[in-house]
Amino acid sequence: MSTDPADNSPAKAGQDRASDAEELLRHADAVREEIGGERFRDELVTTLFQHAEDIASQTVRRHKRRLWLPGERIDRVVTHPLLGIPVMAVLFAAVFWITIVGANVPSAFLAGLLMAEGGLTGWFSEYLGIEAPTILGTSLYELLHMLFAALHAPAWLSGFVIDGVYLGLAWVVSVMLPPMAIFFPLFTLLEDLGYLPRVAFNLDWLFKRAGAHGKQALTMMMGFGCNAAGVIACRVIDSPRERLIAILTNVFVPCNGRFPTLIAVSTIFFGGMVAQANPFAASLVATAAVVGVVVIGVITTLIVSWALSRTILRGEPSAFILELPPYRRPNVLRILYTSLIDRTFFVLMRAIIVAAPAGGIIWLMANLNVGELSISAHVYSFLDPFGHLLGLDGILLLSFIIAIPANEIVMPTAIMLYLSKTRMIELEGAELGAILTDHGWTLLTAVCLMLFSLLHNPCGTTIWTIWRETRSARWTLFGALMPLALAIVVCGVVATAVRLVIGVAA
Amino acid sequence: MIGKFLRGNCLDCPANRAHAEQPVETGTRVYSVALAGNPNTGKSTVFNALTGLRQHTGNWPGKTVTRAEGRFSRGGAIYQLVDLPGTYSLLSASTDEEIARDFILFGEPDCTVVVVDATALERNLNLVFQVMEITDKVVVCVNLMDEARRTGIEVDVDRLSEELGVPAVGTVASSGEGLDDLVAAISGVIQGQIVTSPKIPAPPAAATALVDDLVPRIRALYPDLRNARWIAYRLIEGDYRIRQALMSGELAGLGQRQAGSP
C-alpha cells in the first residue's frame, strides 16, 4: 500500500501519473538513444549466455556421446556463412530434380489408365517397348462412356458426369498425384532430420536486414508446406509489426499445393522443349526453372518485407533466439505416414473436393451456349486481352479464378478448358506440352504462369486464416490484394519487356 | 490498428483471471504456483503428475495460447498450479511469451517453478535467469533426468542450486521420481523455510549507471513496485508492452490489487 499521504486522491494521482509516466518514458528513450537499445539487449543476452555456459560447465558432466549424427560438425557446414546457402540450394535442387525425373512416368501411366484414348497402349509402347495387355487397352474414361451408352444415358448426363466431374478428378490425380507422392516424403525427410530450422538460421540475417523479424525465415519455411500453416506459425514472432509483415508476405513462397503446378509446368514445358534432344538435360532445365521460381519467391518475400517495414509498418527489427534442435534419426514409417497421409492425401482430397464440382461447372460452361458461343468462351474471350497483357491468356485467368478455393487445380482446370475448346482428348504419353503449344503457349506463357502462380493472391483457406489471425478486415483485404497486384505488375512487365525485345510475336 | 488484434481482452488476461480466482475459502490459504519452462521439457507432464489432471502434452505454436490450472495440497496448504505456455525467453512479446511473462510479472505467483531439460541445461538456464530477474521465489525443476542418464549426462543438482541461489530438484516427471522433493521445495520457498537469493549475472557495466539513474524515477512513480530494476531494463530496450503498462498505470496495480482501479 502506498504510504505517501499526498497521493491519496485517485483522480489526481492518475493525472499526475500519466504526465510523470510520459516524462519517464522520454528519459528512458534518451538513455536508449545514448547506449543503443538494441546493442544493450544484445549485450544483456550475451552476458546471460556466458553465465549459463559457466554454470553448465560446473554442473554438467558428459560421460559419452551417443548422437546418431555428429550434429555439431554437420552444423558447421550447413550453417556456414559462405557454404550454408550453396549447400541449401544444392539440397533443394536435388529434391526438385528427383521429383521431376520421377514424376514423369507415373504421371503418364495414370493419364493412360484414367483417360487416354486406347488406355495404356501408348504408355506400354513408349516406356516398356512392349504391347499392352488387352485389358489395359481401354481407359477408365472410355469404359465409363461405354457403360453410360449401354445404359442409354442421355448425352447431357454422360457429358456432365464423365466429361465434367470425372475428367476434372482424373486430371487432378494424374497431374498432381505423382509429383506430390515423391516431393512430400523428401520434404518431410528434410523437416524430420531437423534441416529446416538450419535453413531459417542461414536466412535470418537477410530478414533482419529487410527490417523484419529473423524468425520470419522460420515461418517462411513453414509456408513451403502450407501458407495457412505458415500464417498461423507467425504467432511465434514477437512484435505485432513484424508478425504482420510475416503474415502478409508468407504467400510469396510456393506451398505444397502450388509446387506440383510449378513442377508440372516446368516438366511438360521447359523440360519438354529439350526432351527429345536429351532427357537428362531436360530434367536439369526443369529443375533450374523450379529452383529459380523458389529463389524469386524468397527474394520477393524480402523485398516486400523491406518495403512494408519502410512504409506502412515502420519500425526496427528486434532480437531473438533461434533454437537449432538436435538432428534426429528419421523415422521412416513416420515420414511415410506424415507425407502420404497428412500431406499427399490431404492436399489431394482438398483438390478433389474442389475439382469435382469445378469439373462439372467447366463442362456446363463449355456446353451451354449463349448466342453463338458457349458461356466459357464468352468469359475467356472477355478475359483474353487482359490475360494477353500478363503473358497469359483468358483461359489461364479463368482457371486462376476457378481455383481460388484450392490452388492445386489451376493446371487441371486450364487443361480441361483448353480441351473443351477443341472438344477432344488426345493424350499419348506426355503430349501435354503439345496441347499447350497448340493453344498458343510459348516460353513466355510458361514463365508468366509460374510467376503468376508464385505471386498471386493466396488461396481461400489462407485468406480465411489471415483474417482469423489478424481479426482485421483491412489487413485481410490487403493480404489478398497486394500479392494479386504484384503478380499483375510483375507478369505485365515481364510480358511487355519480352515482347519489346523479341517482337510482338511472343 | 495493429495493436488491437494482438492484445486480447483484458479480462481474459492471465493476470486478471488469476486474481478473480483467488481464494475465498477460510482457514486454508491457496497459494498460486506458476509453472514455466522451455517447450519440450516435460512441463505439462510435471503439471499432470502434480495435479492428477490429464492436460494434453503436445507442443506446437498455437497450442500455447491456452493455459491449464489445477490444484494439489500438502501439509494443510492448497497450491493452485498454473501451467504457462512453453517459452525460450520472457524478453520479447510474442503472444505465448507475453502470457507467460505477464503472469509472472502481474499475476505475482507465490512461487514460480521453472522446468528445465536435464539434457540441455545450458540452453534452458537462460529462462531461469529471466524469471529470477522478475522474482526471487523460484524453484528449478531439472526434469528428464532419466533421459540425461541414458545419454550419459550427469547433472549435479546440488551444485546447480548453489550456483543459482535457488533450490534445484532433479525429477523424472513421467515416473514420479523426485516430485516429493519438488513439492517440498515449493512449499519451503513459499513458507519461508527456504530462503532464496538468486544470483543473476551482472549487466553490461556501461549501462549500470544509467539504469541506476532510472530506477529511483520508476520507484517515485510506482512506490510498490518490487522489480523496478527489471522494468528499467525493459524501458531502455524499448519494450512495447512494458511501455504500455507504464502509461496505462497497469504497473501501479502491482501490490495494491484490491483497489479495483483499471
Summarised one tens digit per residue, pLDDT across range A233-253 is 787 776 788 889 999 999 999
- When scoring B40, B94, B215, B230 by the number of chain A Cβ atoms within 10 A, the one with the most, hence best to mutate, is B94
Tell me the C-alpha distance between A79 and A202, whole Å.
6
- Kindly determine whether residue B94 and residue A21, on different chains, have CB atoms separated by under 8 Å: no
Q: Is there a contact between B247 and A51 if contact means CB atoms under 8 Å apart?
A: no
Q: Residue B218's closest chain A neighbor by CA?
A: A24
Please say if the pLDDT value at position B255 is more than 60.
no
**Grid cell locating B249:** 498505470
Residue A31: its chain B contacts at CB < 8 A?
210, 213-214, 236
Q: CB A232 to CB B152 under 8 A?
A: no
> φ, ψ for residue B36 (rounded to 5)?
-110, 170
C-alpha separations of A320 from A31, A236, A240, A253, B90 in Å: 22, 10, 14, 23, 11
Within a 10 A sphere around the Cβ of A489, how many other Cβ atoms? 12
> Domain coordinates of chain A in residue numbers?
5-59, 71-502
Among A residues 242-261, those touching chain B with beta carbons less than 8 Å apart = 243-244
Q: Are strands A373-374 and B68-74 parallel, antiparallel or unpaired?
A: unpaired
The whole-angstrom separation of Cα A408 and Cα A54 is 53
Give the model's confidence band at B55: pLDDT under 50 very low, under 70 low, under 90 confident, else very high.
low
> Cβ of B123 and A52 within 8 Å?
yes
The predicted pLDDT at position B189 comes to: 94
Helices (H), A311-409: 332-336, 346-367, 375-389, 394-402
- Which range among A109-113, B136-140, B161-165 shows the weakest confidence by mean pLDDT? A109-113
* 8 Å CB contact between B133 and B36: no
pLDDT computed for residue B9 by the predictor: 36
Cα dihedral sign for A239, A240, A241, A245?
A: positive
Report which of residues B205 and B162 the model is more confident about: B162
B208 touches A at CB < 8 Å: no
Task: Name the residue among A272, A275, A219 with its Cα closest to residue A250.
Answer: A219
Nearest chain A CA: its distance from B231 CA (Å):
11
**Res B59: pLDDT:** 32
Place of cell 535467469: B129
CB-based contact (8 Å) between A236 and chain B? yes
Q: Which residue of B158, B210, B218, B258 is the best one to mutate when testing the A interface, meaning the one whose CB has the most A CBs within 10 A? A: B210
Contact A470 B62 (CB under 8 A): no
Neighbours of B86 (CB within 10 A): 23
Q: Assess: ipTM above 0.95.
A: no
Q: Which range among A357-366, B60-69, B161-170 has the greatest average pLDDT?
A: B161-170
Confidence label for A485 from pLDDT (cuts 50, 70 and 90): very high
- Residue B24 binned pLDDT confidence (cut-offs 50, 70, 90): very low
pLDDT range class, residue B16, cuts 50, 70, 90:
very low
Sequence letter at residue B113: V
Residue A331 binned pLDDT confidence (cut-offs 50, 70, 90): low
Q: Within a 10 A sphere around the Cβ of B247, how many other Cβ atoms?
A: 15
For residues B159 and A88, the model is more confident at B159
Tell me whether residues A52 and B62 touch, CB distance under 8 A.
no
A108 backbone dihedrals φ, ψ, rounded to 5°:
-65, -35
Range 236-255 of B in CB contact (< 8 A) with A = 236-238, 240, 243, 246-247, 249, 252, 255
- pTM for the predicted model, two decimal places: 0.62
Contact B247 A65 (CB under 8 A): no
8 Å CB contact of A28 and B236: yes
Taken in order B238, B105, B250, B85, the sign of the CA dihedral is positive
Rounded to an integer, the average pLDDT of B247-259 is 54
Any chain B CB within 8 A of the CB of A79?
no
Q: What rounded mean pLDDT belongs to chain A?
A: 81
Q: Do A51 and B153 touch (CB under 8 A)?
A: no
Cell 524469471: give the residue: B131
Q: B162 in contact with A at a CB cutoff of 8 Å?
A: no
DSSP reduced 3-state for A264: helix
In chain B, list all ranges with CATH 3.40.50.300. Answer: 2-191
**B3 contacts A18? CB cut-off 8 A:** no
Question: Do A28 and B214 count as a contact with CB atoms less than 8 A apart?
Answer: yes
pLDDT at B51 over 70: yes
Interface contact flag, B163 A17, Cβ < 8 Å: no
Determine contact, residues A397/A491, Cβ cutoff 8 Å: no
- From B142's Cα to the closest Cα of chain A, the distance in A is 12
* Closest A-chain CA to B132: A48
- Say yes or no: B258 contacts chain A, CB-CB below 8 A: no
* Chain B, window 97-156: residues with a beta carbon less than 8 angstroms from a chain A beta carbon: 97, 121-123, 125-126, 129-130, 151-156
**What mean pLDDT is predicted for residues A434-441?**
80
**Phi, psi values for residue A62, rounded to 5°:** -105, 125
Interstrand relation of A373-374 and A369-370 (parallel, antiparallel or unpaired): antiparallel
Torsion angle, alpha carbons of A281, A283, A288, A290, to 10: 160
CA pair distance A351, A407, nearest whole angstrom? 8
pLDDT number for residue B57: 39
pLDDT value at A270 more than 60: yes
Query: Would you tell me how many other CB atoms lie within 10 Å of the CB of residue A208?
Result: 18
For chain A, say whether B56 makes contact (Cβ under 8 Å): no
Name which of A1, A43, A56 is nearest B125 (Cβ-Cβ).
A56
Question: Are the beta carbons of B236 and A318 separated by less than 8 Å?
Answer: no
Determine the Cα–Cα distance for residues A487 and A137; give it in Å rounded to an integer: 44
Q: Above pLDDT 90, what percent of chain A? A: 21
Chain A and chain B share a number of CB contacts under 8 A equal to: 177
For residues A217 and A233, give the distance between their C-alpha atoms in angstroms, rounded to a whole number.
11
Residue bearing the bigger pLDDT, A266 or A487? A487
Q: Most A CBs within 10 Å: which of B122, B160, B215, B242, as the mutation test of the A interface?
A: B122
Residue A426 amino acid letter: E
More confident residue, A168 or A63: A168
CA distance A149 to A145: 6
Residue B212 contacts A, CB cutoff 8 Å = no
Establish if B195 touches chain A: CB-CB under 8 angstroms. no
CB of B209 within 8 Å of a chain A CB? The answer is no
Residue A401's nearest CA partner among A332, A474, A484, A477 is: A484
Confidence check: pLDDT of A480 > 90: yes
Q: Please report, for residues A20, A87, B90, the alpha-carbon distance to residue B242 in angstroms, rounded to integers and kept in the order given.
A: 15, 42, 12
Whether A40 sits inside 8 A of B246 (CB atoms) is no
Please judge whether B213 and A31 are an interchain contact, meaning their C-beta atoms are less than 8 angstroms apart: yes
- Chain A residue closest in CA terms to B258: A1
Contact between chains at A1 and B224 (C-beta distance less than 8 A): yes
Q: Kindly give, in sequence order, each residue whose CB lies less than 8 Å from that of residue B254, ignoring residues fewer than 6 positions away.
A: B106, B108, B222, B224, B225, B226
Please, which pLDDT band fits residue B58 given cuts at 50, 70 and 90?
Answer: very low
Nearest-by-Cβ selection for A35 from B160, B206, B261 = B206
Q: Which of residues 60-99 of B touch A (CB under 8 A)?
A: 61-62, 65, 88-89, 91-97
For the stretch A89-129, pLDDT in tens is: 888 889 888 887 888 788 888 888 998 878 888 888 878 88
Residue of A nearest to B164 (CA): A55
Residue in B closest to A41 by C-alpha: B237
Q: What angle do CA B12, B110, B212 make, to 5 degrees?
A: 90
- Looking at CA atoms only, how far is residue A264 from chain B in angstroms? 33
User: Which residues, in sequence order, are CB contacts of B233 under 8 Å at separation 6+?
Assistant: A44, B133, B203, B211
Q: Which of A73, A67, A86, A19 is nearest to B246 (CA)?
A: A19
Q: Write out chain B residues lying below 8 Å of A38, CB-based.
A: 237
Average pLDDT on B112-118 reads 94
Please write the tens of the pLDDT for every residue from A165-207: 898 888 888 877 887 788 878 877 877 777 877 877 788 888 8
Cα separations in angstroms, A313 against A14, A137, A299, A307: 32, 61, 19, 9
Contacts of A153 (CB under 8 A, 6+ apart): none
Q: For chain B, how far is it from start to end, CA to CA, in angstroms?
A: 22
Give the mean pLDDT of A305-312: 90
Q: Do B126 and A52 touch (CB under 8 A)?
A: yes
Cell of A33: 538513444
The CATH code for residues B2-191 is 3.40.50.300
Report the alpha-carbon distance of residue A359 to residue A347 in Å, rounded: 17
User: From the CA of A229, how many Å to the nearest CA of chain B?
Assistant: 10
